[in-house]
Structure 1
Amino acid sequence: MAAFKVDWSELPKELLGSILQRLPIVDNIRFGAVCTSWNSVSSDKSYRPLAPQLPWMMLPYKVGQEGKETRKFLNLAHKKIYQMKLPKEIRHSRCVGSSFGWLVILDAFCCVLLMNPFSGAIIHLPPTETLPDVLGVHVSESSGEIDHYMIRRYGPNRECSISPGRLRVGLMSKAIVTADPLVDSNYMVIAIGFSGLVFCKAGADSWTQLDRTMISSKGSCEDILYFNGLLYVLNAYGDIMVWDLNELPLNKAKEVDPPFGATSLTRPQPYGNWFIWKRYLAESSGDLLQVLLWFRERDGKRNVYTSASCGIYRLDLSTKTWIEVESLGDSVLFLGRNSAISLSTRNFPECRENSIYFAEHFWKGWLEDDPNVDQQNLGFFSLEERRFVKYYYYALKRIKPPLIWVVPNFM
């Protein structure tokens, strides 16, 4: 009896697409490398993954490698690091946000753009010189490249010249995208900058500023979140202002009631000299959450495993109160200075449920420029055990760019 042979390259496109939609991201990459016909299916944007993807962590470059076009990514599921070649715009860049698999990048010349690190797609955003307090740009006659910017700082009459490299550090601290640009053409990009909050709509040729007076009177911007069509802005005191993105121009805001400062905070046990190091906004299972990262001194030292804790509070809109959250159930949060992602461990059993995975570097000492720092412990906080647990060790002295959670998106 003759053996039955199958030409896998000739399988129907619809069947291959159905298989592709159910694969994890690493197998998705391998899928496209099988043959030409399989690669054409993997490149078809109509076959988007059916299930959510576990975020990867983009690791910082080593000192002296800022000009390279490669970045390393930690695959949390396999606890394996992959090195990927990215578009040339990644060289000497700074990432200030991650949404829907897109990075918000300030490139070598401090131009703002969206980059998909998995597909290599680039979307250029309005010029930096259209941002508030950026007065102009000077282009070198010899190279044709941006040489410096003129900006206004610390008052109406304080103008100064600044290089793209220096401006890149302080221009934006965080940026979010309200929707996947390839799915929704009405997306917006919103950023916290040295001028307060700024935003641009898809296709706009300039940036627009929100009411800086209203923001500054409530303290500095600590975090921002797009949730149910609303922009939530968290200040350093834990209070939240909200804008309706459907009401343009965005010149009216209201304060979320009640002010978070009126909430009686439960300090971590055992009691001690605790202070709030960082606040985050997040959404989980339809609830608006505020996450507090606590630290304290112990024996004159600060260490994440003996001197750190977390508190989570949920906004109850019916009673207008902040309620402390004792458990996230089977949910898991991925938090960082540039992203907030909520997933269910029913889809990702390799993650610890009822936990918060941080894209923060927790070092042995406390100061980032401490010459004795020789390891970076990445940790998650278990709400059940009320303690931090190391989930990965990354040997790198002095992390300068932030760690970034990014959801794999090949579209």
Structure 2
Amino acid sequence: MAPFEVDWSELPKELLGSVLQYLPYVDIIRFGAVCTSWHSAATDKSYSLAPQLPWLMLPYKVGHEGKESRKFLNLTENKIYQIKLPKEIRHSRCVGSSFGWLVILDRFCRALLMNPFSGAIIHLPPTETFPDVLSVNRSKPSGEIDSYRILRREPDREYSISAARLRVALMSKALITADPLIDNNYMVVAIGFSGLAFCKPGADSWTQLDRTNLRNSFEDILYFNGLLYVLHRRGDIVAWDVIDLPLNESTKVTHPCRMFLLRAPQPIENWFVRKRYLVESSGDLLQVLLWFREKWGRHNVFDSASCSVCRFDQSSKTWVEVDSLRDRVLFLSPNCAISLSAHDFPECRENSIYFGEYFWEGWLECDPNVSHQNLGVFNLEERRFVRYSSCASQRIKPPLVWVVPNFR
């Protein structure tokens, strides 16, 4: 009797869709490569996919700025993949990551959205429409952008700046309020060198949101429950209702987050807050503080790092320090903040924070004498950092960035 034969390409699409709901990103790609019908199911937007663990986009090495490929760390497999990206990634700088899209400033300091997994690109309004950017200068032989004329405040004066230098100064962080392929009412909001600015789909220019504060006073931004939260370096928060933008004034939602409200990880004398992050987690607004400790008698020389987490209490309008994230795991980097359930990703440590920051020798208790750059994860229960990956010691250019795989 002939064995029962199955034509796998003829499996019902509904069955294929149910399988896709349990697959990580790499397996979805493999799934779609089997045959035409499986590829059709894998790219069908009507099927919901499982939550995806973010990948860490690693910086390029010095001298490799012109390449069109970047390396990504996949925590699920603890493996590094090299992905070829659109040519716009060359000599670019990533200033944000939301919903699987990167906010990129290309080699000419033009802003765009790029999906590194699908290769899709959405161009944003011209840089010369950004607040305090007055004009653009082009090279006569090629017509390419050479420099910009900008207005520098305090003191007010105009001067010329190269595209490469403006690429570093134009935006320190940007975010997208919704997935552009799902919600056409999204916005791109950026902390600029002259304050806050935003743009919407179809807009031909950037709009100033707040020019009362310079970029150096902003620490982080977060879109949460229809409000744009802006965290200042001193710890207080300003919230904007972005539904009916533009607005003329902001509304404070909390008193300053003063140092004495927070439990320092060690005696406060030689500890200081190196970085603050805003993140939404299970409906709570959290502020994560990354602490560094200076060596005694050695200014700007550090021998340890720690972390604390505060939750914003809506009733008292104050920050309350928390000792546990419960089943959550956070992924933080200078340009994004992500909260996921540890139950969905058993390969990650619950009640932990994965930092897209480099920790040098002496900062990780489990490996105090390393001679390379570590990527650290902080566990709130154990109150210490451990290493989850490392990179060879070398000069690093753009910052690390977490990005959630999204190829649809």
- Scaled to the shorter chain, the TM-score interval is over 0.9
User: Is the 8 Å Cα contact of residues 197 and 210 (structure 1) preserved in structure 2?
Assistant: yes
Aligned to 2:165, the other structure's residue is in SS state: helix
| Counterpart-to-counterpart distance in 1, 2:90 and 2:279 | 30
Distance (Å, rounded) in 1 between the aligned partners of 2:160 and 2:362: 36
Choose 62-71 or 15-24, whichever is displaced more. Answer: 15-24
Question: Structure 2 matches for 1:289-328, cutoff 5 A?
Answer: 289-298=286-295, 307-328=304-325
Report the residue type matching 1:281 in the other structure. L
Contact in 2 for aligned 1:97/1:175 (Cα 8 Å): yes
Q: Which letter does structure 2 place at the counterpart of 1:175?
A: A
Aligned to 1:24: 24
Distance in structure 2 (CA, Å) of the matches to 1:365 and 1:91:
34
Find the residue that maps to 1:307 and give its secondary structure.
strand
The aligned amino acid for 1:161 is S
Q: Does 1:113 align with 2:112?
A: yes
Distance change (3 Å), C-alpha of 1:262 and 1:382: closer
Q: CA deviation at 1:139?
A: 2.1
Match of 2:178 in 1: 179
Describe the superposition over 1:85-140 as per-residue Cα deviations: whole angstroms up to 9, x where unpaired: 01111111000000000000001111000000001110001110000111111222
Q: Which residue of 1 aligns with 2:169?
A: 170
Contact 1:114-1:124 at 8 Å conserved across structures: yes
Equivalent position to 1:224, from 221, 224, 230:
221
Correspondence for 2:263: 266
State whether residues 263 and 322 of structure 1, in contact with CA within 8 Å, keep that contact through their aligned partners in structure 2: no
Match of 2:82 in 1: 83
Preserved CA contact (<8 Å) 2:209 2:247: yes
Structure 2 match to 1:369: none
The 3-state SS of whatever aligns with 1:29 is helix
Relative to structure 1, the CA distance from residue 351 to residue 11 in structure 2 (aligned partners, 3 Å threshold; closer, same or farther) is: same
Equivalent position amino acid for 2:191 in 1: I
1:79 and 1:298 map into 2 onto residues whose CA distance is 33
Query: CA distance change for structure 1 residues 364 and 223 in 2, over 3 Å: closer, same or farther?
Result: same
1:399, 1:219 → 2: CA distance?
Answer: 22
Match of 2:360 in 1: 363
Given that residues 234 and 256 in structure 2 are in contact (C-alpha distance below 8 angstroms), is that contact kept between their aligned partners in structure 1?
no
RMSD: 2.0
Distance 1:61 1:48 in 2: 33
Shift in Å, 1:327: 0.7
Distance in 1, matches of 2:48 and 2:62, equals 36
Q: Structure 1 residues 261-270 or 231-240, which shifts more? A: 261-270
Letter in 2 for 1:120: G
Amino acid at match of 1:57: L
- Corresponding residue for 1:249? 246
SS of the residue corresponding to residue 210 of structure 1 reads: strand
The 8 Å contact of residues 333 and 356 in structure 1, kept in 2 or not, is answered as yes
Give, in angstroms, the shift of residue 270 of structure 1.
5.1
Q: Residue 261 of structure 2 aligns to which amino acid in structure 1?
A: S
The answer as to whether partners of 1:274 and 1:297 remain within 8 angstroms in 2 is yes
Identity of aligned residues (%): 72
4+ runs deviating over 4 angstroms: 299-304
**CA apart distance, 1:303:** 8.1
Q: Which residue is equivalent to 2:382?
A: 385
Which segment drifts farther, 339-348 or 3-12? 3-12
**Distance in structure 1 (CA, Å) of the matches to 2:362 and 2:319:** 34
Query: AA paired with 1:65?
Result: H
- Helix, strand or coil at the partner of 2:167: helix
Aligned-partner SS, 1:39: helix
Per-residue Cα deviation, 1:363-411 (whole angstroms, up to 9, x for no partner): 2389xxxxxx952100011111111111111224122200000001011
Q: Take 1:256 and 1:263, find their aligned partners in 2: how far apart are those partners?
A: 19
CA apart distance, 1:156:
6.5
Give unmatched runs, 5+ long, in structure 2: 364-369
What pairs with 1:38-77 in structure 2 (closer than 5 Å)? 38-49=38-49, 51-77=50-76
Q: Please report how far the alpha carbon of residue 4 of structure 1 lies from its aligned counterpart in structure 2 after TM superposition.
A: 1.1
1:157, distance to aligned residue in structure 2 (A): 4.5
Alignment partner, residue 139 of structure 1: 138
1:66 aligns to what SS in structure 2?
Answer: coil
Deviation at 1:219, TM superposition (A): 6.9
Which residue identity does 2:117 align to in structure 1? F
Change in Cα spacing, 1:303 to 1:58, as seen in structure 2 (3 Å) is: farther
Structure 1, unmatched stretches of 5+, are 367-372
Partner SS for 1:89: helix
Letter of the aligned partner of 1:192 in structure 2?
I
| CA gap 1:84/1:184 in 2 versus in 1, 3 angstroms | same
1:33 counterpart = 2:44: no
Distance, in Å, in 1 between the alignment partners of 2:323 and 2:256 is 21
Aligned pair in 2 of structure 1 residues 295, 355: CA closer, same or farther (>3 Å)?
same
For 1:397, the equivalent position in structure 2 comes to 394
Asked whether the 8 Å contact 1:303–1:365 carries over to 2, the reply is no
> How far off is 1:6 after superposition?
1.1
Structure-1 residue corresponding to 2:94? 95
